[in-house]
Structure 1
Amino acid sequence: MSNNCAGCPNQHKGSLFLQCCRCEDKYHHTCVNFSKELFLSLTKEYKDTWVCPTCRSKEPRLGDNSNTPIRVVAAAVPVTPQCENVTQRIKPRGRVTCESLSADTIRAIIREELDKKFDTQIRDIQVKLASLDEVLAHFNSEFEKVKSQCESQTAIITQLQRDKEELRATCTDLSQRITQAEQLSRTCNVEIQCVPENKNENVYNTVHQLANTIKCPLSDSDINYCTRIAKLNSKSPRPRSILVKFSSRRLRDNFLAGVIKFNRNHPTEKLNTSHLGYGGEKKSAVFVSEHLTLDTKRLHAEARRKAKELNYRYCWVRDGKVFLRKTDSSSYIFVKDSLVLNKLS
């Protein structure tokens, strides 16, 4: 028996075909104008008694046969011819109604339609989800890299902060040591301030005049060095200070003690320019102090401002160290640095 379709040159495959009960020729369901849904809805009885268009055309026509079951089916279920070599006047025999469709057949038809409708959309969604998974995996990999880098950088920053604190403490310690070393190199020096400058002045004679005034006479061998020093603020109207380097620290301490004693014994006429032989009606006070380093001078000035702000009575320098005392009966405060001043209240 041939497997070729009697309505077209193609072979029939599968079970979607009709076999004529007379000539036993086989036809594709599309070649005899049966859709897939209509073919699936046909009963076995109808398929077993189906007659092909060729055999049906050989039957004699008796009277008016316009109202045949085949025409009723064609009117009830309009179909579109899907093969050009089959005429539209050939209609399937018998009547097909909704009662002949089982629940499983209806369910299969609905499922097939839904599959056709949503299959493409579902595939698109699956493709998009797959690409989204790839993107998320890439971002997760990049996030892990960034997280690892952040952790390593955080560890480096923490170590750098510890190193910075250690270096800061080291710098502070070294700065204090340098300041102490500089101050020790100035233990034999005094600084005389506010002495007027003259073009032809002799600072050695000025220092001797001052020593005689405070009753602490000096010989030439007692003074190793004497000169004017540059001002910290070049715009200041005050004259340059006189730096005196004594031959020993004992001489320097005696000189400073003599100045303090003179000012204490003459509260209304403290050491001024008239005692040094400078004439004129205007008298300027003359100050004698230890020769301090730049850092110690700044700390001393800051301590004086703080003492004035908090009503501390005394602020002085002894051996390059700054001290404060609020009253005569209170204990002194050693001002080591600015932190000590910030804690005062």
Structure 2
Amino acid sequence: MLRSPSGEQYSSQPNLTESGFNITKRKRKQTDDYADLRNDLTEMFKTWSEQQDAKHKELIETILESKKQNEEIKNILQEKNKEIAELKSQQETLIINHTSALNRIDTLEKELEEFKRSQRLNIVEISNLPKLKHDDFNQIIKKLHTAIKVPYDNNLIKKTHKAKFGQNKLIVEYKDVEVKRKVLKAVKDYNKNTIDKLNSETLGLETEKMPIYVSESLTNTARRLYFSARQLVKNGMYHFCWISEGKILMREKQGAPAIHIQTSFQLEQLKAKSSQA
């Protein structure tokens, strides 16, 4: 039979007092840990919440500031749109006034051109003459009338003078426009029916033989228009171009109506129309 060592006593019963203390101590520790965790979480949430509140406040302020700026921009745009509308209205008014002014200028230019043309209805120009002396004027006119078979009388002539520019042109102003018309028609018939057209020998001028031209007196504007109109004929766009009573006339083809050319713009329109055809 085994015996316990002397002086030592053993028991199968647990030490409840010590165990209970440990459990209580462990529970208290766990409770403290939970409290600390809860406090930490609470503090973290509080901090996060404060941060979110600050960001939210900042966002609200940013939105409000943006809204304020948008309102300011909207007001500026409204003012600019108003200014643009006013400028557009002013521009339209200026365009209308400008167009009206151009039309008025065009009308005045046509009226002035018509007045100048009417002042030249009785005038013919004898061109490509040698150097002229005043004493030669009447003799040249008389020889011209003789060659083209139109009766001549000094009383038919109102005045004669050399052209201001160039020494080879004689300006003859008749008293009666009908005499001027007879002279131009007779010159045209002479050149048409005579092999040797009107020239310096025909008029008995002591110079080398050269052609002499008799034509209507044109204004500077009509002269430029006539040159441009003849270019259209040379280019084959129109078939006929002639002068009648100082007017520039064109005809697209035989039998077509005559067109009175008054402006360069009109010629450009005719050119464009012919190019599209």
* Higher helix residue share: 2
Higher relative contact order (CA 8 A, sep 6+): 2
Deviation of 1:120 (Å): 3.2
Instruction: Give the aligned partner of residue 6 of structure 1.
Output: none
**Does residue 287 in structure 1 map to residue 213 in structure 2?**
yes
Larger radius of gyration: 1
Compute the TM-score of the two structures, normalised by the length of structure 1.
0.63
Instruction: Give the aligned partner of residue 299 of structure 1.
Output: 225
Counterpart contact for 2:251–2:259, Cα < 8 Å: no
Q: 1:325 to 1:137 in 2, by over 3 A?
A: closer
Secondary structure of the structure 2 residue equivalent to 1:216: coil
Q: Percent identity?
A: 19
| Counterpart selection for 1:167 from 101, 105, 109 | 101
Letter in 2 for 1:261: D
Q: 1:190 to 1:156 in 2, by over 3 A?
A: same
Instruction: Give the aligned partner of residue 176 of structure 2.
Output: 248
Instruction: Give the aligned partner of residue 162 of structure 2.
Output: 228
> Over aligned residue pairs, what C-alpha RMSD do you find?
3.2
Instruction: Give the aligned partner of residue 323 of structure 1.
Output: 249
Secondary structure of the structure 1 residue equivalent to 2:125: strand
Secondary structure of the structure 2 residue equivalent to 1:289: strand
Name structure 2 gaps, 5 residues minimum: 1-23
Secondary structure of the structure 2 residue equivalent to 1:136: helix
Deviation of 1:292 (Å): 1.4
Greater Cα offset, 249-258 or 141-150: 249-258
Counterpart contact for 1:323–1:332, Cα < 8 Å: no
Instruction: Give the aligned partner of residue 92 of structure 1.
Output: none
Compute the TM-score of the two structures, normalised by the length of structure 2.
0.77
| Counterpart selection for 2:201 from 258, 266, 274 | 274
Aligned length: 248
Name structure 1 gaps, 5 residues minimum: 1-67, 77-94, 232-237
**Does residue 186 in structure 1 map to residue 114 in structure 2?**
no
Counterpart contact for 1:296–1:320, Cα < 8 Å: yes
Letter in 1 for 2:88: T
Letter in 2 for 1:314: F
Q: Deviations over 1:214-267 (max 9, x none)?
A: 122322221111111233xxxxxx75422111111111111112211221221x
Q: Deviations over 1:97-140 (max 9, x none)?
A: 327988xx888555412123333333333333333222222211
**Does residue 148 in structure 1 map to residue 72 in structure 2?**
no
Q: 1:146 to 1:227 in 2, by over 3 A?
A: same
Q: How does 1:1-345 map to 2 (within 5 A)?
A: 95-98=31-34, 109-198=43-132, 202-231=136-165, 239-266=167-194, 268-280=195-207, 282-310=208-236, 312-325=238-251, 329-337=254-262, 338=264, 339=266, 341-342=270-271, 343-344=273-274
